[in-house]
Amino acid sequence: MIVFLNGKFLPEADAVVPLNDRGFLLGDGLFETVRVANGKPFRFAQHMERLAAGADFLKIKLPFTPVELQKFVGKLIALNQLPESVLRLTLTRGSGVRGYSTKGADQPVLAMTLHPLPPSSALPWSLITSSLHIPAGDGLAAFKTTSKVLNVLARAEAEAGGADEALLLNTSGEVMETAGGNIFWISCGQVCTVPTGRGILPGVTRAVVFEICKQLDLNTREFFATPEHLRQAEGLFVTQTVLGIVPVIALDHIPIASSPLVEQFVHAYSEIIRGETGGF
């Protein structure tokens, strides 16, 4: 596999960063995961907008412009011959002095790797409510930082409990998201989800769902819910970059109703990807 590291295309085994890189030592960085379809990165501009916003928040200077990065992505896809894949872009602050101070860490590291698409045979999902909680109002939650230990432990907890994914609440007991995606539910014919600003990552696929709602003339509602709201829902699904729209059939081992709207979203999302990337 060929990877991209700081402007160079290298065999994966040759792409290394120093042991004192702050991303490795402290999780001081950001990442984006992008779906590649028909050799094109889907919604790349939106991912770059979020990356730029996160870099500004963390005060990390992006070493390349979005236009340059898109060209690099195209070359990376061609070199690896992976037109249907997952792109991972990682930005770290780079190397600096020992400790938390950012002094001297002015040479950021930017890496990009491609990965095969996971099989869709594992869908739909079952969820388990995690015992771990997101701090309510956490400003960092709006960005994809590389500090994801909570998400890692939540996913491990779910898998140990026989589920596919973890449902995360905040410290106020409100539904936030899953370990790796945003959550939507159908209630009284409305498409409901959690508002931004209290602990969720505003996902790119989440935004596409709102576009689909407009196309289908569906009412949407954003409010802070409890797991009980989700258990009583007419349908439930997770949105994430790699798998798109993921239907949910159970929460905490309790079956969830199946709404035909969820399948409409699955189909509509596939059509958007097809339309914007020129087909599969």
| Residues whose CB is less than 8 angstroms from the CB of residue 101 and which lie 6 or more positions away in sequence, other chains included | none
Q: What is the dihedral of CA 176, 270, 186, 43, to 10 degrees?
A: 40
Residue with tokens 């491609």: 114
pLDDT beneath 50: ranges in the chain: 280
Report pLDDT for 153.
Answer: 98
In this prediction, residue 120 carries a pLDDT of 73
| Interval 15-32: pLDDT, tens | 999 999 999 999 999 999
Please tell me the predicted confidence (pLDDT) of residue 53.
95
Q: For 223-276, what is each residue's pLDDT tens digit? A: 999 999 999 999 999 999 999 999 999 999 999 999 999 999 999 999 999 999
- pLDDT at site 115: 96
Go through the domains of the chain in sequence order and give each one's CATH number.
2-117 (3.30.470.10), 121-277 (3.20.10.10)
Per-residue confidence (pLDDT) for residue 118, from 0 to 100? 87
CA distances from 248 to 123, 255, 258 (A): 8, 9, 8
Q: Please give the pLDDT value at position 122.
A: 67
Q: What is the pTM of this model?
A: 0.93
Q: Is the dihedral of CA 273, 276, 277, 279 positive or negative?
A: positive
Quick one: pLDDT at residue 140? 85
- Rounded Cα–Cα distance for residues 251 and 228 (Å): 10
- At residue 197, the pLDDT reads 79
